[in-house]
């Protein structure tokens, strides 16, 4: 049985003070979240040491939103996976649609980053998802399977034993327009069956999260779908009460 996982992607929000108070509020409400639900937060990487320290004695895992595909060297402005591990990261989000669209990350670069995250003994959360145009064209399945295939070709299916996938339809991110539970389930099932062609056990065990306008009000019905194992939450993860409610709703 797969456990449920809810991860907050804080994106580029917050200050040292607001990050601390958000974590303290999460810690205060943590007892209300059923034991079986796994929880992660990905603050801006500069606040990762602070978050890792504040979460050290809790069940909240901490991670980064992005990392370099390179191990070290003359890559001005980049942060290596080993450095994130050194700061206390447990996981790294790779291939978020904002990275793909705004910073030009290709499938090949995302695959390199996935490999780099694992090489640093961290867990990758691989994001895939189609744009509105692609959905309208009816090529959602082709798009998400190509995004997954690029990583599979680079690292092999065994690497997915310690990885998470997040399906985030681009048109649902930050728009308030979420995918319906049925629309999301269809893509989650497709991703799982695609993996199953290569390894049934890994496919059955991998957590596949849904992301895109997840809120307290819609999280239960989304996460109740058979192939949806939790959420990758943006905006609603910046409010402790909302995020804790989503975590609690994941237990179904
Ligand atoms: P929102 O929950 O704000 O739509 O963002 C989703 C997301 O991009 C999480 O990675």
Whole-prediction pTM: 0.97
Measured in Å, residue 9 CA sits from the centre of ligand 1 at 7
Please say if 96 is a catalytic residue.
yes
Structure tokens at 208: 């596949």
Candidate of 96, 177, 211, 219 to mutate for ligand 1, largest count of ligand atoms within 8 Å of Cβ: 211
Three-class secondary structure of residue 6 per DSSP: strand
pLDDT of residue 50: 98
Residue identifier of the C-alpha nearest atom 1 of ligand 1: 234
What distance in Å separates the CA atoms of residue 204 and residue 188, rounded to the nearest whole number? 12
Task: Provide the pLDDT confidence category of residue 24 given band limits of 50, 70 and 90.
Answer: very high
pLDDT in tens, 193-211: 999 999 999 999 999 999 9
- 168 within ligand 1 shell (Cβ under 6 A): yes
- 101 within ligand 1 shell (Cβ under 6 A): no
Q: What is the mean pLDDT of the chain?
A: 97
């Amino acid at each position: 049985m797969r456990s449920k996982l809810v991860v907050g992607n804080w994106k580029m929000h917050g200050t040292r003070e607001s990050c601390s108070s958000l974590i303290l509020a999460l810690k205060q409400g943590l007892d209300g979240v059923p034991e079986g639900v796994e929880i992660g937060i990905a603050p801006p990487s500069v606040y990762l040491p602070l978050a890792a320290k504040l979460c050290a004695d809790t069940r909240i895992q901490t991670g980064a939103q992005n990392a370099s595909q390179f191990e070290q060297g003359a890559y001005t402005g980049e942060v290596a996976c080993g450095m994130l591990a050194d700061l206390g990261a447990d996981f790294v989000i790779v291939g978020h649609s904002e990275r793909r669209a705004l910073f030009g990350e290709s499938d090949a670069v995302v695959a390199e980053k996935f490999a780099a995250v694992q090489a640093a003994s961290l867990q990758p959360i691989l994001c895939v998802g189609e744009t509105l145009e692609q959905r309208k064209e009816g090529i959602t399945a082709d798009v998400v399977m190509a995004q997954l295939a690029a990583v599979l070709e680079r690292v092999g299916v065994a690497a997915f034993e310690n990885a998470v996938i997040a399906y985030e339809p681009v048109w649902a991110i930050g728009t308030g327009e979420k995918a319906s539970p049925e629309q999301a389930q269809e893509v989650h099932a497709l991703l799982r069956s695609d993996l199953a062609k290569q390894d049934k056990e890994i496919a059955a065990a991998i957590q596949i999260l849904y992301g895109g306008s997840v809120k307290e009000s819609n999280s239960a019905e989304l996460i109740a779908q058979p192939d949806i194992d939790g959420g990758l939450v943006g905006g609603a993860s910046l409010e402790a009460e909302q995020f804790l409610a989503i975590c609690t709703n994941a237990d179904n």
